[in-house]
Chain A
Amino acid sequence: MDMKVAKKKLGLKEKYRLMTRDLGWEPTYRAKDEVFPYVNYEGIKVHDWDKWEDPFRLTMDSYWKYQAEKERKFYAIIDAHAQNNGHLNITDARYLSALKIFLQAISPGEYAAHKGFARVGREFPGVGTQVACQMQAIDEIRHAQTQIHALSNYNKYYDGFHAFADARDRIWYTSVARSFFDDAMSAGPFEFMIAIGFSFEYVLTNLLFVPFMSGAAYNGDMATVTFGFSAQSDEARHMTLGLECIKFMLEQDPDNLPIVQGWLDKWFWRGFRVLGLVSTMMDYMLPKRVMSWREAWEIYGVENGGALFKDLARYGVRPPKGWDDAEKAIDHMSHQFMLGLYQWSFGTSFHSWIPSDEDMDWLSAKYPTTFDKYYRPRWDHIRKLAVAGTPFKNFGLAKLCQTCQLPVVFTEPDDATMSCHRETEYKGEKYHFCSDGCQHIFDNEPEKYVQAWLPMPSLFQELNGDIGAWMNWVGLRDGEDNGDYSGSRDQRNFDQWRGMATSNT
């Protein structure tokens, strides 16, 4: 904290108290329930908001100063990147698929987090909590904007970026991330904090951002890696906020434990499913790989997560219910996912491809127990079809999970030869799920999840199966944005431009 205050010797904590929570007061002209109407219905009991420990102490003057410094650097670098055709320094234009998914699915999530934190920054009756949430609200719009700005230059030269705003609301695979954030925002303020503040920002964020940003660094993407570095100190604040939040809830009343545990179970599994996209990026989409998804899970999931839940055990918290199923899925998910993406690549605003021999050798080395046994034969078969001029395309209707909205492409946790599929009947309708985790989430709140907007059925009902009309509607340009990378316009242009930049022909 920068503020030079007080003739009396005030401690840092006391100074910060005067600059934040001392600003609030108990209303007397209006009832507290009127001012904070949403804080009670979830059943979380808070007896003393003053027990909230500020996770960081940052007054606005310091915030402006530090953030402006970071902004100056960030924009200087991305300006230079754009001016000097920095996009030609990436390893290969295949890399861009990861960025396209990021812009269509993750950046809108940053924006949703911005709105969500603005809401809880108003709804919590404790000033300390409010200020911390408000700072995250303004940080999150920063992240959404810096991401769009960093990727804007790629959009000028490559396909798949141009319709990200349409894709966000309409294309099938973005609804995985969209429904995740919509779910959190439609929950009450405390659940939102567990969902985004804790589960996403604390437990899962390293699994998302470290691979993405390291992937950018490994693949010569200066724009994205700059965003990543610039966001890091914000993320550190967000993580401490998430942790403080869960501890605060658990310390305030023992009755909060079962509610919080239920949310942890739910949001761990919800988040884990969203991360399926990251596993595919790490194992398949980076021309120069950082580490395998399995290795990332060992470090950021097992080690970090293990330590975290050990620390939380003193409050009676146990690791999330889906943890073991997650562990069992690690060696399979990226392969199952990429196979799915490849067969539905007519409907994706990014390219996928058949892994090369070298790629497949890497995958067998990283996944010795699964890749050669289950997935290499499938890729070999797909490659044969492609070579024969009859590439494997699935124009069929993918059955989507009612909860996580991924196509039901996963296998049973204990049997990789059995496709996993669960069903619940609710009020005379059948609902499908990809896993026990997703089925449990539905069963706990069926009234919520029956509302889910499922993009695939809508494609076939509203547009009568007219794929061309659907593509127009989602902003996907057939033959440019979608399909195999091999033979794509991105490939042709990148190779030609790079040739211009690196040789004299």
Chain B
Amino acid sequence: MQIDLRTVSIQPLRQTFDHLARRFGDKPASRYQEGGYDIQAAENLHYKPTWDPDQELYDAKITKIVMQDWYALKDPRQFYYSTYTLARARQQDATESNFAFVESRGLADMLPPAVRETALKLLVPLRHAAWGANQNNTLICGYGYSTIFTQPCMYHAMDNLGIAQYLSRLGLLLGDTEALDEGKAAWLEDSAWQPLRRYVEDTLVLRDPFEAFVAQNVALDGLLYPLVYARIVDDTLSAQGGSAVAMLTQFMTDWFDETKKWVDAVLKVAAAESDNNRAVLQDWIRAWSTRAASALLPVVEIALGAQADDAVGEQLADFRARIQKTGITL
């Protein structure tokens, strides 16, 4: 039997704020709705930016993508600050346990030397690529239009930083500070890394926030994460006795699976908006993913050698199938 506690019952005057009632009706709004919709200033902006007087302070026209309502780009995870931090706090807890497990049982020392070397050579330089991703997502958040589109980009940027830091820890655990130095030298000078570094630097000059979103979150990370963390670390290295490495990169695997749902949802809504958007997205994704695939090839070779070509080719096919589902044909 359920007994309801009695509280003083008062009839509310209204269920929600006007701007939310206009969008969703006068019913109680979720915290995602309250924390995201229409909270960016939209009208009567006072001054043009001195850093670029051709722009408005919040300007939907700095991208080629045109949306009638930028708030349509909903995040299926419905992340606002609180749900985001709670989710990541749980994941960092698991990651911490994984690091502790590997450290306390000396699993790093038990790795076959070849696996350890591959892991270091492949993963440590990626901390710089993750920093590049942080830069791009920070830019999208800063200059993109509408909180619903931009707030997940800030969360994503902080995730990118977190990943760069986890990779740094992995490097220190498996190879100490020398591993970080060598990884950075490789990133700057080794021929295997130059196409990727060039790709990243080319994205850092993009000023169209949506193109940056495509080049980074769709194209590059859409290929890099499944190739490096799923195919190489979780499959190949684990089969060679390197499960400990997979424990250290579990965050990245889980993170990609989670975040790609958001990336796909953004693409789907933007593409469905107009033929123009679809065409622009198609061009961008085609161009950036082709480049990303060839930039990743020498990186994948570090772990897969002669099989790298097939691996990248297969991943590119998977990637195209994934994009196809968002309504964009490559």
A112 sits at the interface (CB 8 A): yes
Cα A166 to Cα B58 in complex, Å, equals: 16
Cβ of B187 and Cβ of A25 under 8 Å apart?
A: yes
Cα A244 to Cα B45 in complex, Å, equals: 30
A475 sits at the interface (CB 8 A): yes
* Residue in chain A with minimal CB distance to B197: A29
| B139 surroundings in chain A (CB, below 8 A) | 122
Cβ of A35 and Cβ of B201 under 8 Å apart?
A: yes
Q: A61-B92, A108-B41, A131-B161 are in contact. Are A156 and B13 (CB under 8 A)?
A: yes
Cβ of B142 and Cβ of A169 under 8 Å apart?
A: no
Cβ of A18 and Cβ of B128 under 8 Å apart?
A: no
| B16 surroundings in chain A (CB, below 8 A) | 152, 155-156
A292 sits at the interface (CB 8 A): no
Cβ of A501 and Cβ of B8 under 8 Å apart?
A: yes
Cβ of A38 and Cβ of B51 under 8 Å apart?
A: yes
Q: Which of A10, A30, A148, A182 contacts B47 (CB 8 A)?
A: A182
A165 sits at the interface (CB 8 A): yes
Q: Which of B39-63 touch A at CB < 8 Å?
A: 39-52, 57-58
| B235 surroundings in chain A (CB, below 8 A) | none
Cβ of A24 and Cβ of B44 under 8 Å apart?
A: no
Cβ of B8 and Cβ of A41 under 8 Å apart?
A: no
Q: Which of B13, B88, B127, B159 contacts A157 (CB 8 A)?
A: B13
Cβ of B184 and Cβ of A186 under 8 Å apart?
A: no
B110 sits at the interface (CB 8 A): no
* Residue in chain A with minimal CB distance to B205: A34
What total count of A-B pairs have CB within 8 Å? Answer: 262
Cα A168 to Cα B19 in complex, Å, equals: 12
Cα A105 to Cα B164 in complex, Å, equals: 37
Q: Which of A129-166 touch B at CB < 8 Å?
A: 130-131, 134-135, 137-138, 141-142, 144-146, 148-149, 152, 155-159, 161-166
Q: Which of A30, A84, A122, A149 contacts B142 (CB 8 A)?
A: A122
Q: Which of B269-297 touch A at CB < 8 Å?
A: none
Number of chain B residues close to chain A: CB under 8 A: 87
Cβ of B162 and Cβ of A60 under 8 Å apart?
A: yes
Min CB distance A259 to B, Å, is: 14
* Residue in chain B with minimal CB distance to A179: B46
A326 sits at the interface (CB 8 A): no
Cβ of B45 and Cβ of A5 under 8 Å apart?
A: no
Q: Which of A60, A152, A188 contacts B161 (CB 8 A)?
A: A60
B95 sits at the interface (CB 8 A): yes
* Residue in chain A with minimal CB distance to B19: A165
Q: Which of B31, B44, B127 contacts A170 (CB 8 A)?
A: B44
Min CB distance A52 to B, Å, is: 16
Min CB distance B188 to A, Å, is: 6
Interface 1/0s, chain B 16-27, versus A by CB < 8 A? 111100000000
Q: Which of B7, B34, B100, B173 contacts A148 (CB 8 A)?
A: B34
B327 sits at the interface (CB 8 A): no
Q: A35-B201, A137-B154, A155-B16 are in contact. Are A453 and B44 (CB under 8 A)?
A: yes
Name A residues whose Cβ lies closer than 8 Å to a Cβ of B.
2-8, 10, 18-19, 22-25, 27-30, 34-35, 37-38, 41, 59-61, 63-65, 67-69, 71-72, 74-75, 83-85, 88, 108, 111-112, 114-115, 118-119, 121-122, 127, 130-131, 134-135, 137-138, 141-142, 144-146, 148-149, 152, 155-159, 161-166, 168-170, 175, 178-179, 182-183, 185-189, 448-449, 451-453, 455, 458, 475, 493, 497, 500-501
Could you list 11 further interchain pairs (A-B, Cβ under 8 angstroms) beyond the known A152-B16, A165-B38, A169-B43? Answer: A6-B177, A22-B180, A25-B128, A30-B204, A34-B205, A64-B162, A157-B12, A175-B46, A186-B49, A186-B57, A497-B10
Q: Across chains A and B, which 10 residue pairs bring their CB atoms closest together, nearest first?
A: A68-B89, A60-B162, A118-B142, A145-B35, A119-B142, A156-B12, A23-B131, A182-B46, A169-B43, A64-B88
Q: List 16 A-B contacts (CB under 8 A).
A: A6-B172, A18-B168, A30-B205, A59-B165, A60-B159, A61-B162, A64-B89, A88-B8, A145-B31, A148-B34, A152-B16, A163-B17, A165-B18, A169-B43, A179-B46, A186-B48
